[in-house]
Structure 1
Amino acid sequence: MGVELTMPDLGNLSERRQPLECRVALVSNDRDLSHNWVDALNTTAAQHENPFGLCFEAVTVPAIESRLREDERLQAVIIDAGSCRDELKSAETLSDHMHKLRSQLNVFLVAQDSFLSEEGGAPASLRKRFDELFDRREGNFNHMFRLVQAFIARRASTPFADTLKEYVFSARDAWHTPGHSGGDSLRNSPWVGDFYRFMGEHVFNTDLSVSVQVLDSLLEPHSVIQEAQDLAAQVFGARHTFFLTNGTSTANKVVIQQILGGGGKIIVDQACHKSVHHAIVMNRIEPVYLKSTLHPQFGIYGPVCRTDIEKALDAHPDAALLVITSCTYDGLRYDLKPIIDYAHERGVKVLIDEAWYAHGYFHNELRPTALECGADYVTQSSHKMLSAFSQASMVHVQDPDFDEFRFRENLNMYASTSPQYSMIASLDVARKQMSMEGFGRLRSCLKMVETLRREVDATGVFRALTCDDLIPAPLAKDNISLDPTKVTIDVTASGYSGKEIQVKLFDHFGIQVEKTTYNTVTVLVTLGSTESKLLRLVHALKQLAKHPRKRSHVGTARQLPEFTHLNCLPADAYFSETEELPLMDNGVAAEKKLVGRTCADEIVPYPPGIPVLVPGQEISPQIVQFLQQLLQGQNSTEIHGLIFRSDEPMIRVMKEPVGSSGDGAAKSGKAKKRK
């Protein structure tokens, strides 16, 4: 009784099967020093415990760039600054260049002690550029080896995931929530035991209660969760990072409430994620909507024109926050730095929804990221492109005016008090993976993209769209770029619609794509993409290309009707007394009833998920006709926000006061109790 029950560490079995090899490059033009040190360090590595497989090698300054670009196993660089100040400056320049190519590498400086003195002129940023300093006269190679190993071990650590694993293997009896008690409620059940066996043991025994104090608290972290978040901030280049287990939807709401809780003005892309629109309602915010651009040939919505953003910032000096989505669902990325700088010059904070771009920081061809461009807040869906579980997200912060206490309170208003611990662990592990092998993984992804694009074009029927293909004409001068991991394929020449190709790929080849438009399908190349999956996708497309349909059934893009105007704050409309009006109702009759009324809900066709109406917006004839067209025909579009009564689509609008012939309540801004 009372004996500590522990299990052996089984978490590194895969590492034992595949021994690690971490290469450390000593960059020096001093041949004697570099070879002497490399020989001594490799001898030391052979004599000591070396779990990461550290292997030291000499590299000249001219050769280091190719190694950075090609060697995925390179984990650290030691730069010899020589013996004069000019060479130190060169070392700093080289370190900065390395960071642009491989942001995650540990970098060490070899110098003389004179550089550390004020007379030596060592810059104040020395410690920011280099993880550790070594004197050129160093003779204790045991100590140097251990220091390099310790820095790599720090990056490779997963403090929360390791603690969770250790707790599970300690096999404690659970007299706390959740009720399945580590799966015991299901394991031997004749009715649901099959679900336990299907899901696996660890899905249940890692699903624990906040009562387990050794696992820290997501809402008030002080130990392993805080340590994991600090590591994530360091890896992603933020001042602070926060984990969330209910998605980037919650992350956006928390940040917006942080800046505009209680009201104020926000400048926002009309095509932003619906969570932003929800936050506008919840915090009684006044939105200034920016019009998205449409590519008429493919029905793809792109970024907002930079000039429109700048005009909005100039016209609304009282705005507190600018919200931009980069990259978009289709992979289009803003040239963010000039936009962020323009906003900051006017005292406006910037939130970048980077839900689809959590991987961007880990390969030089995908940078700069929003944080590198100066964004105050960045939200990322770690599950979309990285290896985290669904709903696992992060918020990265570098706002110089950041109030951490208030942020935690805002976060606590939205976060569950019963977080999923396996989801937190997946964030910890996803961060480790990107830190240790993100560059190599993404390098493989980009090679797959090249192959996929080449083979798609070779079919002569399907075509992989380029950045130039996807950028609408109004954005031609905005320096928009494309995330290559989103591959959009034009299917027009096949004679089938994007939806029909999606169904054929699924039914006949067992392939599920990410999204479609009327004449495109989009696939994601992620860390989980494999050569075998690529082979099967290419084979499927080649087979489909052999049998094009002679008579095309591909439709044309339906452009979103123009945004009308707001009759009141979105919150006033959403929480007002309302009535429901039919959308179809013989077409013309419905139009007469709806036109001029104020919508109380967000009406969003999906895809692409861009609102046609937001709460408080006046309904126009074009909007009614557009929505009616989407619901007609065999390929009707899913529309969020409609209410169906006996299969009849209805729109909730602000109720008119008795005796009014117009939408007086809406236009006066008087909000009554919600129906």
Structure 2
Amino acid sequence: MDNSRAYNSVWQFRGDAWCRLEEAADRLTRPSTTGDLKEEYVAICHDLLINLAPLEPYWAFPGSPQFAKIQRLFNAGAYDKFAHTVARINRALTTESYRTGDVDTAGADDTADLFPADPRTLESQPANRREQLYFEVLVVEKMTEAQERALRKEVRSWRRPDDEFVYELVVVGSGDEALIAARLNVNLQAVVIRRRFSHQSPRDLTTLSEFIDHELSHDLDDHKSPDERAAILAKSLHELRPELDLFLMTEIEVEDIAGRLGQSFRRVFHAREGVLELHLSILQGVAARYRTPFFSALKQYSHRPTGVFHALPISQGKSIVNSHWIKDMVGFYGLDVFMAETSATCGGLDSLLEPTGPLRESQQLAAEAYGSRHTYFVTNGTSTANKIVTQSLVAPGDIVLLDRNCHQSHHYGMMLAGANVVYLEAYPLADYTMYGAVPLREIKSKLLALKAAGKLDRVKMISLTNCTFDGIVYDTERVMEECLAIKPDLVFLWDEAWFAFARFHPVYRQRTAMETARRLRTKLADPEYRVSYTEQLTHEGPLSDEELLNRRLRPDPAEARVRVYATQSTHKTLTSLRQGSMIHVFDQDFEQKVSEAFHEAYMAHTSTSPNYQILASLDLGRRQVALEGVELVQRQIENAMQLRDAIDNHPLLSKYMSCLRTSDLIPQQFRPSGIAQPLRSGLKNMMAVWDSDEFVLDPSRITLSIGRTGYDGDQFKREQLMDRHGVQINKTSRNTVLFMTNIGTTRSSVAFLVEVLVKIAGELEESISEMGLGERARFEQKVRRLTTNSASLPNFSGFHPVFRDGTQTPEGDVRRAFYLSYDDTHCEYLSTDEIFDKIDAGAQVVSATFVTPYPPGFPVLVPGQVFSQEILTFLRELDTPEIHGYKPELGFRVYTEKAIEGLRPARWSDLPQPSVIG
């Protein structure tokens, strides 16, 4: 499988191999193909069949029987039949016509599904059209070919025309092959484990060794009972693909086994009695995930005749269809959008503020899909989600540790909640004028300083962005464990606005907030961990702050509480209408300490007239990832890897542009694995890096260094990508642009981007070749400025003492500083030069506003923060025309010296002290 380059690319390699096999087989049968040329195509077909042979047992189509047939035809020299069969199979794979469930004849129709991805065909489909949706079921049991054929035939005999779903079987005989199939076959929705399976396959799995869990093979050896082995395999499959429904079939002691192993399986069946019931349970399990309670209720409502005598003239399109001037609105959006418009919460619908019906069910299904204890829908973006969580957890005077580079909604949330903020510094990437993520040592040092100052009891929450806009991903488990070792009841808010998709990939999942919370809760409740912790504590005794800072810490299982929140922009990385977001909660103390405050915060920030189309899209987006999330995210990653390869391997593109590597974006001290390019080192290396390194790089993001083009990031984005070619991106820096693949990215869109970049590079190459000496010198000067001279990245300069509670620790009262500016007499505008002069004279100049340049998109100044020369220099040298909080004609809004002198320092003791804070 030499061609399966890049991370986890087996699925794409397989598709391309079938296409190449069809082309070679066709050439083999042409009359003009003779002699050495024919031998060449025979050799190509032979090699491709060898490469495909280890893969095909893990898919139902074409499946082992059909693949064995084409091998026999090829070996017998029946090249015409061989070519015809290969063409039929490849056609079915390409058009996915095999998903009708008739795998034996799939691909026979040359015109079937000729344009299966054309969205216009979806718009014209009748609403009552019934299409049986296809999936595959993995059966783990040693079988003969005859037994396998009989089982397939029996399963097909149970199909009924009115079934909503249809499935085919994939049969493997060993535990290691079961995990290979679960990794490779994204069509799987259920697994049936029977008692008779081996721990290792008799097949040669050398080419698939990167997908084999050797530790599992050892655990499944024959020394354990069949039931123990079934439970071990089920646990591994659940860790790998938690969405799969697992079933167990056994012949003995079914009742006893169900009592002992029922938590590992959806159902346990007797092998002789429950085969048909198993079939119905498989369909029911998929149907449960397919359910969309709110979307279905809204769709049903839209078909009811109603009289609207309250609000919303647009309801059922009545204010549009009777209009003389805006009928084109229906033509553009379609009538169903308006038929579903309502502000009613009855008639089968529900209230977002107090859900008791279909919305409540939809949120519960989302919680199951995302691994949370509670999930809440948000219809006005993750900015609002962040404010809801912050306001529900933080009271005035509470101390919050906050990533300074986080989204502005967190800063405003701190202001609204009245938090005292300790800003955390991320490591700088000065060469690219961007920041990375916050090192764990930085977090621990701030917590230990607060502890030394006697303020640890006031520390309520830490908020971090995972992953960052540029794709830096935290080791969430280590961060939470070490923080809880210092502050056992610390609440974690992980901003996963750009990371909602991560739940649905086995490598990504381990670094998501909800999965880490689940694992951490299990670990802290494990008796073995409690014994180990006690022994370590007895052996080591009390540790100094310096020792705590310099070693890996473990939380005390008797004191630590798992309190984790994640906010996600579903609309950014998964399927949802704009502003569709979710809040996920895994908080042991939620019901006792937070639920009432959360409800009030949710009411404060949520519209009483939410957009029902957004809510319905969140419901549908959950269904999608619950049934095909693994496939979509895998394809997203692979498309990103193909884009990297296309850029870095292209002789012209690589002359002017390069994709930044993990080692470019994550300094060596945060990568104990020492692997500079884990994204290109195979799945095993990538998994090792994600297990060990403090920070890792999200493969789906490509930061493209463009300094050698002479364009800065903003110019390249506006003038080249967007204005000329319609390529949309969000993030740029001084000398980089960021491309993000998503679940909607296709290979065609990747090819289009490569084509655009090649065109830009080609035009640049031609332009440079025609430059005169002076023009060439100016161009080279631009390149030097973009590739060598970089603006220094300033740290947080600190709050003015009047906004701080003492001088030992750096927290500041953002709310007090923010509202002071509401009195215009407290403020004035100063130019950059005027501020420089005041700083040189020894004065402290204090910002009255948030000052946020785009890019990089985070506040470099917050209300109450003192200006520094480093910050002013950074702002002056920054190549961006957009700086929020700065008016070119006036300057920066700052507090007057009189206003500052009239304040006395903030004191925690001055605030009203609540008796209980969640």
Shared fold per TM-score greater than 0.5: yes
1:123-162 CA distance string (max 9 Å, x none): 4xx344221221233x243322111111110001111111
2:696 corresponds to: 481
Counterpart-to-counterpart distance in 2, 1:11 and 1:606? 42
Matches within 5 A, 1:74-473: 74-81=188-195, 86-111=225-250, 114=253, 116-117=255-256, 123=260, 126-137=261-272, 139-316=273-450, 317-318=456-457, 319-345=459-485, 346-347=487-488, 348-368=490-510, 369-374=512-517, 376-403=564-591, 404-457=595-648, 458=650, 459-460=653-654, 461-472=656-667
Letter in 1 for 2:792: Q
| Contact 1:601 1:615 (8 Å CA) reproduced | yes
Letter in 1 for 2:514: L
Structure 1 residue 588: Cα displacement: 4.7
CA 1:636–1:330 in structure 2 vs 1: closer, same or farther (change >3 Å)?
A: closer
Q: Secondary structure at the match of 2:618?
A: helix
1:623 corresponds to: 871
| Contact 2:247 2:266 (8 Å CA) reproduced | yes
Bigger shift: 305-314 or 533-542? Answer: 305-314
Counterpart-to-counterpart distance in 1, 2:710 and 2:128? 49
Bigger shift: 508-517 or 80-89? Answer: 80-89
1:61-92 CA distance string (max 9 Å, x none): 23222221222211110112459972222222
| Contact 2:477 2:516 (8 Å CA) reproduced | yes
Letter in 1 for 2:515: E
Q: Secondary structure at the match of 2:390?
A: helix
| Contact 1:292 1:302 (8 Å CA) reproduced | yes
Output the aligned Cα RMSD.
Answer: 2.9
CA 1:203–1:583 in structure 2 vs 1: closer, same or farther (change >3 Å)?
A: farther
| Contact 1:294 1:559 (8 Å CA) reproduced | no
CA 1:45–1:330 in structure 2 vs 1: closer, same or farther (change >3 Å)?
A: farther
1:45 aligns with 2:45: no
Structure 1 residue 397: Cα displacement: 0.7
Counterpart-to-counterpart distance in 2, 1:454 and 1:33? 45
Structure 1 residue 105: Cα displacement: 1.2
| Contact 2:249 2:268 (8 Å CA) reproduced | yes
Bigger helix fraction: 2
CA 1:314–1:334 in structure 2 vs 1: closer, same or farther (change >3 Å)?
A: same
Counterpart-to-counterpart distance in 2, 1:17 and 1:517? 49
| Contact 2:345 2:351 (8 Å CA) reproduced | no
Counterpart-to-counterpart distance in 2, 1:240 and 1:399? 9
Bigger shift: 648-657 or 310-319? Answer: 648-657
Structure 1 residue 411: Cα displacement: 0.9
1:524 corresponds to: 740
1:568-620 CA distance string (max 9 Å, x none): 11111111243132234667557679951332322111111121111221222
Bigger strand fraction: 1
| Contact 1:85 1:115 (8 Å CA) reproduced | no
Letter in 2 for 1:571: R
Structure 1 residue 648: Cα displacement: 1.9
CA 1:588–1:272 in structure 2 vs 1: closer, same or farther (change >3 Å)?
A: closer
| Contact 2:392 2:600 (8 Å CA) reproduced | no
Q: TM-score normalized by structure 1?
A: 0.89
Bigger shift: 309-318 or 391-400? Answer: 309-318
1:67 corresponds to: 181
CA 1:17–1:151 in structure 2 vs 1: closer, same or farther (change >3 Å)?
A: closer
1:4 corresponds to: none
| Contact 1:45 1:54 (8 Å CA) reproduced | no
Bigger shift: 582-591 or 268-277? Answer: 582-591
Query: Alignment partner for residue 169 of structure 2, among 40, 53, 56?
Result: 56
Larger radius of gyration: 2
Query: Alignment partner for residue 501 of structure 1, among 699, 716, 719?
Result: 716
CA 1:229–1:16 in structure 2 vs 1: closer, same or farther (change >3 Å)?
A: same
Counterpart-to-counterpart distance in 2, 1:559 and 1:193? 55
CA 1:196–1:648 in structure 2 vs 1: closer, same or farther (change >3 Å)?
A: farther
Q: Secondary structure at the match of 1:50?
A: coil
Counterpart-to-counterpart distance in 2, 1:11 and 1:92? 47
1:7 corresponds to: none
CA 1:33–1:177 in structure 2 vs 1: closer, same or farther (change >3 Å)?
A: farther
| Contact 1:581 1:594 (8 Å CA) reproduced | no
| Contact 2:791 2:877 (8 Å CA) reproduced | no
Structure 1 residue 40: Cα displacement: 7.0
Counterpart-to-counterpart distance in 1, 2:424 and 2:889? 32
| Contact 2:471 2:697 (8 Å CA) reproduced | yes
Counterpart-to-counterpart distance in 2, 1:210 and 1:565? 50
Gapped runs of 5+ residues in structure 1?
Answer: 1-9
CA 1:626–1:379 in structure 2 vs 1: closer, same or farther (change >3 Å)?
A: same
CA 1:15–1:209 in structure 2 vs 1: closer, same or farther (change >3 Å)?
A: closer
Gapped runs of 5+ residues in structure 2?
Answer: 1-122, 198-222, 451-455, 518-562, 673-692, 769-775, 804-812, 909-918
1:613 aligns with 2:857: no
Counterpart-to-counterpart distance in 2, 1:258 and 1:34? 59
Structure 1 residue 323: Cα displacement: 1.0
User: Kindly, what percent of the aligned residue pairs are identical?
Assistant: 32
1:535 aligns with 2:715: no
Aligned residue pairs total 647
Letter in 2 for 1:496: Y
CA 1:33–1:64 in structure 2 vs 1: closer, same or farther (change >3 Å)?
A: farther
